[in-house]
Structure 1
């Protein structure tokens, strides 16, 4: 390969990496901002939200509701501090590549990105080694893992 061809190839690779980095940073920003917005607008469930309160079990119901509220707030706080932990590219059976971002807790919806918690089946792909074969179906499409890069 000539010096010019090597330089051109390196320039193309740098442009690809720049695009990947910009996309990842944008996703991170959206997840963190969305989580922060949800946290500040978070309305905790109150015992009055129950249709009826049973005096024998009301204490347990209220404590369960409190635990759920605390868990939701903790998940949002975690997303603010660490919005995305991995970026994975998947290729479907036609070779079309789709990127999935992985989070530690339940990701916000309507971000414009495909995001999954690492605790979900889709998110578990981040724990696999690069190059491992994995087949799964999403929305009727069969996807196979193609490559991964961890952040």
Structure 2
């Protein structure tokens, strides 16, 4: 009986965790596969950073795109006489808005018609800022990880 419970626990928890842990590297590999010429133009250090989803000052926009994907939004501007571009990355975070919902209904010729009471755990999603990358002359000038 304990072996069955352990196997069931692994199937329900272990396999999804293994799948989700490989999603980030799969996304990077998909971007590289779609843009092999972009990846081939990177130097060895930037290729290593892209593969490990890291960022460094002086990286090109192409390297950042391969590592993190396209930004959720971007902005261009002028600061201290220098042109810059910022890429904003966001994530969706579930906010579980659950609770008890009372039923309602009415009596009709065949009895009570109505919708039953119950509990709900459907998430509502909030968009949160995850990172900002600033470019000057198409190279990474600075970045922020928002936690």
Same fold (TM over 0.5): no
Structure with the higher fraction of residues in helix conformation: 1
* TM-score after normalising by structure 2: 0.31
* TM-score after normalising by structure 1: 0.31
Bigger Rg, structure 1 or 2: 2
